[in-house]
Amino acid sequence: MTVRHFLICSVAALLCISPPPVRAAAPGSLGDGHGIYLGESKILDVESTRQLTLRENVLEYQFSPSGEKIAYVTSVDDHGDRYFAIKIVDTWRQDPEIKTLVKMPIAKDAKDPEDFPFLRMVGWAGDDRYLLFKRIELLLDHNMALTSVHLESRDLTMADGASDPTPVESIDTEQSQGSLEYAWASAHDQLLVDRVIFHWDGKPSRRERSYYLYDPLTAKLRPLTVDPADVILGWVDGAHLLMVRTVKGAKPAYRQYDLATGTASDASQPEWWDKFPDLHLDELHDLQPASDPKDPSLVLAVVDHRLPAAQELDQAPASTVWIQRDSAIKRFSVLPLGVTPGYYKPQAQWSPTGKAVAFIAHGDLFLTTLVKRPANAWEKLAVGETLNCDEEKQIATSNVKQIGLGIIQYSQDHDENYPSVTGFHDKIYPYIKSESVFSVGGHAFIYHAPANLSLASLDAPAELVIGEMDMPCARIVLYADGHVKAQEK
């Protein structure tokens, strides 16, 4: 892909050039979600009291290292005054405060995406202190796309909320194309910068490439001396970089660059390399569904979905955002977060702490806070956990109440006659439609109503016992009028 092609496509993607958007479903609104069973009587669920929705035409976003803030890029049209902006929101506040850090105006006569400047997030550093971003302007000269690219940093601890931008590196020339690629070290304390400039004379005639290491805490940019035959691919760890050497007529050879000594040695590509794309030098670091940073068994996924005709969208294409966990207990293996209609997949991301998930859908940013809550008695029963006496009594009482309701409904349909003991289950099942209510933990409901019992023949239906479920801690008794009592043992 040429630099010109990349830039134009990037602007189009950021501006969401698509069919008219349909609002995404609110987080947690997909189907009958039961949460995810984590073991030891814990369920991962949505914290319904802590949700955040930003309807600001959000283009991209990133959590801060603490997970307490989100920085995002948005496009704004304020009565004809158009601009891109980077804003920050505190996700933990009950009434979130939004601050605007950067504005980048769009010329009023700019209509084609090729004419638009834009902003891109680069990332956070220094425990929520520094935010790095990239300004890109497209300077068109006939058929030649020229770029002005500025990589900048802001200190967010200043009294007014943010410092003036600190220049990191830039490409600002009238006769070249260029790009600034970057990759963070895993600790987000060092930024590797790849600066490439193409000098033009009708066609590419010369390419300049230089590498730098930027420390956000000291605001120092250190050049790296690299053999021209070597191309840096990204980070191995905080002290080493992976390079590849390509020589005509020979196979590519991997090398490892030592930042302390400035020397390179033969190496091989790490087996884990493809699993950590954030360590790679890349001009576009797209958000990818991935594992919870604190629990790799939990995976954030964006999957294709079809909305039913009952929702008046006639099997419209959609994407579902959910958290999933491989488990033999299928009912408790998925936590739905939301559905967004349309062909464009949401950008979904874990917070660094694993305590929240955010995703963009049609310009809206949804943040869902997660909670690990105790499993209730019914959930413990469903996953096969041992119930205590109170939990068994709670479930048994509920089940016997359902049976009692089914008996009353049966009698209303049969001239107020109660079902006989013979074939009792088959007679009551159409009113209950669940086999599980007839027993709890191996303890079955016993029906023993007298033969030919009818409501008209009873003087005191609230005193006649017609069934029971004998549990270790209590005897759950059903009376002819349908009420239930738990008799402690």
Instruction: List pLDDT tens digits, range 313-362.
Output: 456 778 888 898 887 677 788 888 888 887 788 889 999 889 999 999 88
| SS3 at position 438 | helix
Residue type, 477: V
pLDDT of res. 176: 58
Residue 175 in this model has a pLDDT that exceeds 70:
no
The span from the CA of 69 to the CA of 62, in Å, is: 9
**Range 256-262 average pLDDT:** 94
CA distance 354 to 259: 32
Measured between alpha carbons, how far is residue 137 from residues 102, 112, 201, 424 in Å? 15, 13, 21, 78
| Cβ pair 335, 35 in contact under 8 A | yes
The whole-angstrom separation of Cα 46 and Cα 246 is 50
Instruction: Please answer whether residues 10 and 2 qualify as being in contact, where contact means their C-beta atoms are separated by less than 8 angstroms.
Output: no
For residue 196, the model assigns a pLDDT of 83
* Least confident range of 79-83, 157-161, 235-239: 157-161
Separation between Cα atoms, residue 130 and residue 156, nearest integer Å? 6
Supply the DSSP string of 11-47, one letter for each residue.
Answer: HHHHTT-SSPP-PPPPTT-SSS--EEEEETTEEEEEE
Residue 126: which pLDDT band, with cuts at 50, 70 and 90? Answer: confident
- From 28-37, 136-145, 255-264, 409-418, the region with the lowest mean pLDDT: 136-145
Percentage of the chain exceeding pLDDT 90 = 36
Query: What pLDDT shows up at residue 147?
Result: 60
CA 102 to chain centroid? 26
321 near 359, Cβ under 8 Å? yes
pTM more than 0.85: no
Is there a contact between 3 and 147 (Cβ–Cβ < 8 Å)?
yes
Phi and psi at 429, nearest 5°, equal -55, -40
For 209-234, the DSSP string reads: EEEEEEETTTTEEEEE---TTEEEEE
Residue 10: what pLDDT?
A: 41
Q: Work out the mean pLDDT of the chain and round it to a whole number.
A: 81
Helices (H) and strands (E) in the chain, counts: 4, 30
What's the half-sphere exposure (Cβ side, CA atoms, 13 Å) at 202?
0
The predicted structure's pLDDT at residue 113: 54
Q: Is the pLDDT of residue 482 over 50?
A: yes
Are 96 and 111 in contact, with CB atoms under 8 Å apart? no
């579902």: which residue's tokens?
320
- Which are the contacts of 405, defined by CB distance < 8 A and separation ≥ 6? 431, 432, 482
Cβ neighbours of 386 (radius 10 Å): 10
What's the mean pLDDT in 377-382?
Answer: 87
Average pLDDT value for residue range 440-446: 91
Q: What is the CA radius of gyration of the chain?
A: 32
Q: How far apart are the first and last CA of the chain?
A: 77
The reported pLDDT for the residue numbered 302 is 87
User: Strand, helix or coil at 280?
Assistant: strand
Residues paired with residue 220 on neighbouring β-strands, in sequence order: 215
What residues contact 5, with CB distance under 8 A and at least 6 apart?
none
Roughly what angle, to the nearest 10 degrees, separates helices 389-413 and 424-432? Answer: 100
Q: What is the mean pLDDT of residues 282-297?
A: 66
Is the confidence at residue 392, as pLDDT, over 80?
A: yes
Give me the mean pLDDT over the 378-397 stretch: 90
**Cβ(147)–Cβ(158) below 8 Å:** no
Asked which of 13-17, 63-67, 369-373, 390-394 is least confident by mean pLDDT, the reply is: 13-17
Which of 39-53, 196-210, 406-420 has maximum average pLDDT?
406-420
Compute how many other C-beta atoms are within 10 angstroms of the C-beta atom of residue 213.
Answer: 16
At which residue do the structure tokens 């007298």 appear?
450
- pLDDT for residue 235 is more than 70: yes
Q: What is the arithmetic mean of pLDDT over 159-181?
A: 65
pLDDT value of position 315:
61
**Which residue is listed with tokens 């040429």?**
2
**Mean pLDDT on 298-320:** 70
Give Cβ neighbours of residue 348 (< 8 Å, ≥ 6 apart): 287, 289, 300, 301, 302, 321, 357, 358, 359
3-state secondary structure of 258: strand
Specify which of 11-25, 54-68, 120-134, 341-355 reaches the highest per-range mean pLDDT: 54-68
Tell whether the model's pLDDT for residue 106 goes beyond 60: yes
Say yes or no to pLDDT of 14 above 50: no
With CA atoms as reference, report the closest residue to 131 among 148, 119, 116.
119
Query: Which of 30-44, 131-145, 242-256, 458-472 has the least mean pLDDT?
Result: 131-145
pLDDT at 77 over 90: no
What pLDDT is stored for residue 13 in this prediction?
40
Higher confidence at residue 447 or residue 174? 447
Mean pLDDT of all residues in 12-19: 37
d(CA 405, CA 372): 34
